[in-house]
């Protein structure tokens, strides 16, 4: 994130400047070949004069894989010729946080049979299934054997509803949870 304080280097004149002036902020890569950000700001007379002399602007610019030595920040007036400035923002002492590891890869497991649900009343819930698909197999142990939280993202039509069913069955498999009176999956009528 960049924080830029824009301090005008001219005397504000109501007859020429009015109550506000429009400026463009451009951020270029280190070669000046690519514009990474362009944004328009309005500098008001109150920001240009007085004790608080200046206007704070915050913006984000994406970082590339390879750390550039610097970016160029350009502030230029949209109404006055040759009114602007260009400065370099060096990254020589910039320390970036570690990148997040990629998602968990889908391991090529042998699909689990429905008998892994252990209780006959659970197995009977899936009469047409002999085994679970690859994604269901990968998350089965985490959902059915533990109480932990999980975030699962999977493709459409990969039968993600079964993930919630695993968690419910795990809860019901505890002594206080399952009494056999649940209709599962719920009827669609």
Q: Domain with 55 in it: what CATH number?
A: 2.60.40.150
Residue tagged 């819930």 (tokens): 125
pLDDT value at 185 more than 60 = no
Q: How confident is the model at residue 27 (pLDDT cuts 50, 70, 90)?
A: very high
More confident residue, 28 or 140: 28
SS3 93: coil
Q: Is residue 104 part of a domain?
A: no
Is a pLDDT exceeding 50 seen at residue 189?
no
- Do 85 and 16 belong together in one domain? yes
Cα separation of 56 and 165, whole Å?
52
Edge-to-edge strand list for the sheet holding 84-90: 35-44, 20-28, 70-77, 84-90
Each residue of 76-118: pLDDT tens digit? 988 888 888 899 988 888 777 777 766 767 677 788 888 888 8
* Cis, bond preceding 95 (omega within 30 deg of 0): no
- Residue 14's domain comprises 2-90
Quick one: pLDDT at residue 166?
82
Give residue-wise pLDDT tens across range 37-88: 899 988 888 777 766 677 888 888 877 667 788 899 999 988 888 888 899 9
Helix-helix angle 161-172:134-144, to 10 degrees: 30
**Which of 132, 139, 6 minimizes the C-alpha distance to 73?**
6
- Which neighbouring-strand residues pair with 5? 56
């Amino acid at each position: 994130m960049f924080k830029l304080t824009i301090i005008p280097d001219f005397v504000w004149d109501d007859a020429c400047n009015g109550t506000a002036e429009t400026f463009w902020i451009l951020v270029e890569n280190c070669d000046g070949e690519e514009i990474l950000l362009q944004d328009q700001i309005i500098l008001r007379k109150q920001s240009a004069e007085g004790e608080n002399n200046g206007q704070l602007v915050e913006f984000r610019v994406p970082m590339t894989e390879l750390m550039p030595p610097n970016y160029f920040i350009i502030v230029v007036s949209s109404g006055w010729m040759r009114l602007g400035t260009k400065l370099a923002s060096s990254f020589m002492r910039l320390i970036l946080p570690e990148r997040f590891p990629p998602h968990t890869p889908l391991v090529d497991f042998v699909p689990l049979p429905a008998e892994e649900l252990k209780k006959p009343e659970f197995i009977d819930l899936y009469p047409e299934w002999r085994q679970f698909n690859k994604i269901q197999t990968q998350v089965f142990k985490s959902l059915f054997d533990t109480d932990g939280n999980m975030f699962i993202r999977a493709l459409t039509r990969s039968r993600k509803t079964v993930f919630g069913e695993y968690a419910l069955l795990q809860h019901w498999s505890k002594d206080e949870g399952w009494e056999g009176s649940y209709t599962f999956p719920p009827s669609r009528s």
